[in-house]
Every structure is written in structure tokens, then in C-alpha cells.
């Protein structure tokens, strides 16, 4: 299981992400390369109709034997798939003192000491859903990342080979293509209309249990998770999500997809997260048309200015920073040779406005950058030691992680 870590609430624009809490976070895919104990007795961009979620009413009136969950499952289940992957991993022979043929080592380890690189097949399992009748499927990038083979299984027993059209580790969105036409598809909601308290239904393949349905509510929206590689604004739900649910749909009571299930907090119950479907669609369209996704990059670490932070910095004998602003976004660090560095931004600056829009939260800056894109000059207003400065920054494509350090 992939383990990801929350960090304290400092936001990094080395990559487009935010952080709000602490704990361990796990992506909800399953590594099935180890045997699982059995249960005991007991081209063109796909066009997807987008329907405004004006109400959360059920598809059918609630009844003893046929409630709205039943109707949702019957509507969506044919388009939900199980994704099995495999990849070959080569393990190098260990480098031991004296070499592998050392008589001393052979006396204790015998032939158990490998002399050649060893290969093993790692298998994984996740979920996905069909968005186009010609066989395009949305899932998580971590479900299909580095896979040698991708196999897609439907609820009616059909199994076909798939091909990864593109995957984006930053957003954790991937597109898989399978052969076919007139395939069942999901209906897409407007995820901007999602509200806490609405019904939430997850369908997926936790631990290989195909077409498992769980029900809960939307616990929160616009959650910001500092995963170092992911953007902000997740949907939080208490519908049970487990390893193997990754890539499956999160649905409203009308049977429309509002998000892609992507992560859970390890060791917690009832805390799962989904990528909003509008974000996933935007990413998937770029993957299909361009084969990659580019993210605007400034090269700053930032956090919201609070009275406590302001007092601590102003009273610190180790800095020459004097902050007069009462609100804004504090720049904690500027990456050398980054767009922010070339624009003249410094650690200790407090961002007041960007692209002529006032900002008080870090995710507001991320949203402005996302909307403006790459290569466009953005005016940025900062306070520096009590003075207001007008600067211009030109976002560049997000570099690879190895190139974000000086």
C-alpha cells in the first residue's frame, strides 16, 4: 500500500498542493502480489454530458424493497470496472563483503544467497469507470503507474486488455483505453454543486470484492491535503473506502459521478477522499489531447498570515523581517532560479493581491494560477517591511521533483 504523509499547514508551490492536518494517508489501491487470506464462512476528447446537480433527490421514491441506493447501483454498476495490473520488478543481487562466493558466507547461507538479479511480478488491483461508449475509462494514476499489463473486468464477467493513454501523478488521474463500442457509461454531475450532508455512494473493488457498494454522506468539500504531489480541493466522505476502491466513482443520490475515490487516512474510519469530477475531467482531456498535464509553477513556499506568526516574526532577533499587514499570504521560502525569484519576490513578503484579486488563503492563489495558465504575466502586490510593492511574475511549467531544489 502506498503511504503518503500529511504535513503541518505550510503550503508549497513547488508543486500545486496544500496541507491542513496530520496523520498517515494511504492511496486506496491494493497490492495483490502477496496472497490474501480467503474469507472464512462467514484523438478526440471524450464528450460527456454534464448535468447540473440542482437537487439531491433520489431516482425513485424510497420504498421497503427498492430505495434510491438500489436504483443508483442498477444504473451505474454496468459502467464500473475492476482494473488488475502487473509489472515485473528486478531485484539486484546483494553486495556483500568478500563477494557472494565467499566460503564463510556459503557456510552459513548455502545456496540461499542469490548470485544473479531476481525478477518477481507485482500485481495490483483498483477500480475505474467508463466515461465514453468507445472505451475510455477514468481511474487513479497510482492504480496503473508503471504497469506492464492492464486488465479490465466488467460486472457481467467480460474481461479485456487495456492500454494506459496517459497518467498524471500530480492529480492522480489516469485514462485507460479498452476496445469496444456502445459500452455503458456513467453520468457526470457538476461537482461544484456538491454540499456537505448530501448522500454519497461508492462503488468499487475493495480487496478484490467486485462491485462492492458503500453508502454515507459528503463530510466536507474543498479539503486540502498536503501530499507533496497533489493539488487541493478534495471531497471528503464517510462512505467506506478501502484498498482496491482507488479509481472508483463517488456518486450522488441521482447516480451521477461527483468524484474519483483516491485516498484514505490509514488507521481511521469514515475518512476518505475523492478527486472532484470536474478536476478529473479537465486533467483527462489534457492527457488524451496532449499526453501530459502542465501545472503553473511559481517556486514559493507559503502559509496564511496569522497574528501568532506575525508576532513571532516581528519579535524574532534572527530575522530582519517586519510585518505590518494583518492578513495575506506569507512567503516562507523562494526557490532559487524560479519564476518567483526572477520576479524579485523574497521570503517574508506578504502577498496581498495576485492578478488584481485579493488573496487571504493559499488555495486562492492556486486557483488563480490554474485559471491563468502558463506563460502569462501576472501582477502581484506584496507588502515588504511595511512598504507596498507591485511586481510581475510569469508562471512556468512545474519542473520535475529533481529540478525544484537549488
pLDDT level of residue 27 (50, 70, 90 thresholds): low
What's the pLDDT score for residue 135? 96
Q: Which of 26, 27, 233, 246 is catalytic?
A: 246
Same domain, 192 and 218: yes
C-alpha cell at 127: 477500480
What's the pLDDT score for residue 98? 54
Quote the mean pLDDT of the chain. Answer: 80
0.75 exceeded by the pTM?
Answer: no
Which residue has better confidence, 146 or 7? Answer: 146
Same domain, 177 and 138: yes
Can you tell me the mean pLDDT for 167-184?
94
Instruction: Note whether residue 114 is domain-resident.
Output: no
Instruction: Note whether residue 390 is domain-resident.
Output: yes
Q: Per mean pLDDT, which of 4-8, 50-54, 381-385 is the most reliable?
A: 381-385
Backbone torsions φ then ψ of 97, nearest 5 degrees: -60, 135
246 has catalytic annotation: yes
Same domain, 256 and 334: no
DSSP class of 47: P
156 has catalytic annotation: no
With beta carbons less than 8 A apart as the criterion, state whether 160 and 180 touch.
yes
- Radius of gyration of the chain measured on its C-alpha atoms: 24
Backbone torsions φ then ψ of 398, nearest 5 degrees: -60, 120
Which residue has better confidence, 160 or 30? Answer: 160
Instruction: Note whether residue 138 is domain-resident.
Output: yes
With beta carbons less than 8 A apart as the criterion, state whether 378 and 394 touch.
yes
Can you tell me the mean pLDDT for 35-49?
35
What's the chain's length in residues? Answer: 406
Same domain, 63 and 157: yes
Please state which of the ranges 40-44, 256-260, 261-265, 304-308 shows the lowest mean pLDDT. Answer: 40-44
DSSP class of 369: H
List pLDDT tens digits, range 208-219: 899 999 999 999
Phi-psi region of 344 (alpha: psi -120 to 50; beta: other; left: phi over 0): left
Same domain, 286 and 328: no
pLDDT > 60? residue 319: yes
Same domain, 131 and 234: yes
Same domain, 235 and 340: no
What's the pLDDT score for residue 234? 92
pLDDT level of residue 62 (50, 70, 90 thresholds): very low
Which residue has better confidence, 156 or 6? Answer: 156
Same domain, 254 and 365: no
Q: In degrees to the nearest 10, what's the CA dihedral of 105, 108, 111, 117?
A: -50
Instruction: Note whether residue 117 is domain-resident.
Output: no
What's the pLDDT score for residue 294? 86
Backbone torsions φ then ψ of 272, nearest 5 degrees: -125, 165
Q: How many domains does the chain divide into?
A: 2
Which residue has better confidence, 108 or 49? Answer: 108
CB count, 10 Å around CB of 13?
A: 29
pLDDT > 50? residue 5: no
Final residue in a domain of this structure, among 290, 305, 327: 290
List pLDDT tens digits, range 115-131: 667 778 888 999 999 99
What's the pLDDT score for residue 367? 82
Same domain, 231 and 308: no
Q: Which of 56, 172, 349, 363 is catalytic?
A: 172
What's the pLDDT score for residue 23? 41
List pLDDT tens digits, range 229-271: 455 689 999 999 999 999 999 999 999 999 999 998 888 889 9
Percent of the chain with pLDDT over 70: 74
| Residue-number span of the structural domain to which 149 is assigned | 3-30+48-84+124-290
Instruction: Note whether residue 135 is domain-resident.
Output: yes
Please state which of the ranges 41-45, 259-263, 328-332 shows the lowest mean pLDDT. Answer: 41-45
Same domain, 348 and 281: no
278 has catalytic annotation: no
Q: Residue 381 half-sphere exposure, CB side, CA atoms within 13 Å?
A: 15
Say which CATH number the domain at 217 has: 2.40.10.120
What's the pLDDT score for residue 10? 42
Percent of the chain with pLDDT over 90: 52
Say which CATH number the domain at 319 has: 2.30.42.10
pLDDT > 90? residue 188: yes
What's the pLDDT score for residue 94? 59
Instruction: Note whether residue 385 is domain-resident.
Output: yes
Final residue in a domain of this structure, among 266, 290, 314: 290
List pLDDT tens digits, range 64-101: 556 899 999 999 999 999 999 998 877 766 555 555 55
pLDDT > 70? residue 179: yes
Final residue in a domain of this structure, among 257, 290, 323: 290
Same domain, 215 and 348: no
C-alpha cell at 377: 504575466
Instruction: Note whether residue 362 is domain-resident.
Output: yes
Instruction: Note whether residue 111 is domain-resident.
Output: no
pLDDT level of residue 178 (50, 70, 90 thresholds): very high
Same domain, 76 and 56: yes
Amino acid at each position: 500500500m502506498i503511504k503518503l504523509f500529511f504535513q503541518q499547514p505550510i503550503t508549497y508551490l513547488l508543486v500545486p498542493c496544500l496541507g491542513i492536518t496530520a496523520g498517515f494517508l494511504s492511496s486506496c489501491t491494493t497490492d495483490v502480489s502477496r496472497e490474501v487470506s480467503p474469507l472464512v464462512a462467514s484523438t478526440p476528447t471524450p464528450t460527456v454530458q454534464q448535468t447540473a446537480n440542482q437537487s439531491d433527490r433520489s431516482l425513485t421514491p424510497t420504498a421497503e424493497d427498492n430505495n434510491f441506493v438500489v436504483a443508483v447501483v442498477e444504473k451505474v454498476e454496468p459502467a464500473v470496472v475492476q482494473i488488475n495490473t502487473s509489472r515485473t520488478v528486478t531485484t539486484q543481487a546483494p553486495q556483500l563483503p568478500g563477494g557472494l562466493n565467499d566460503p564463510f558466507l556459503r557456510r552459513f547461507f548455502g545456496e540461499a544467497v542469490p548470485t544473479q538479479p531476481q525478477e518477481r511480478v507485482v500485481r495490483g488491483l483498483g477500480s475505474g469507470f467508463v466515461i465514453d461508449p468507445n472505451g475510455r475509462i477514468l481511474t487513479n494514476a497510482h492504480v496503473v503507474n508503471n504497469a506492464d499489463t492492464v486488465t479490465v473486468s466488467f460486472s457481467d464477467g467480460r474481461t479485456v486488455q487495456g492500454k494506459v493513454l496517459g497518467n498524471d501523478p500530480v492529480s492522480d488521474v489516469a485514462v485507460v483505453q479498452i476496445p469496444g463500442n456502445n459500452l455503458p457509461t456513467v453520468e457526470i454531475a457538476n461537482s461544484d454543486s456538491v454540499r456537505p450532508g448530501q448522500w454519497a455512494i461508492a462503488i468499487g473493488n475493495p480487496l478484490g470484492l467486485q462491485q462492492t457498494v458503500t453508502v454515507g454522506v459528503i463530510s466536507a468539500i474543498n479539503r486540502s491535503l498536503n501530499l507533496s504531489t497533489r493539488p487541493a480541493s478534495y471531497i471528503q466522505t464517510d462512505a467506506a473506502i478501502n484498498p482496491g476502491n482507488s479509481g472508483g466513482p463517488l456518486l450522488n443520490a441521482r447516480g451521477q459521478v461527483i468524484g474519483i475515490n483516491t485516498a484514505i487516512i490509514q488507521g481511521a474510519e469514515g475518512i476518505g477522499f475523492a478527486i472532484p469530477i470536474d478536476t478529473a475531467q479537465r486533467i483527462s482531456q489534457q492527457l488524451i489531447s496532449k499526453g501530459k498535464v502542465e501545472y503553473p509553477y511559481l517556486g514559493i513556499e507559503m502559509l496564511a498570515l496569522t497574528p501568532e506568526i506575525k508576532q513571532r516574526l516581528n519579535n524574532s532577533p534572527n530575522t530582519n523581517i517586519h510585518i505590518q499587514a494583518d492578513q495575506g499570504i506569507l512567503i516562507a521560502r523562494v526557490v532559487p532560479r524560479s519564476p518567483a525569484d526572477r520576479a524579485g519576490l523574497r521570503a517574508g513578503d506578504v502577498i496581498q493581491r495576485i492578478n488584481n484579486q485579493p488573496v487571504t488563503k493559499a488555495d486562492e492563489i492556486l486557483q488563480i494560477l490554474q485559471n491563468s495558465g502558463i506563460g502569462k504575466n501576472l501582477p502581484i502586490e506584496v507588502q515588504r517591511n511595511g512598504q507596498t510593492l507591485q511586481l510581475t511574475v510569469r508562471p512556468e511549467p512545474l519542473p520535475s521533483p529533481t529540478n525544484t531544489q537549488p
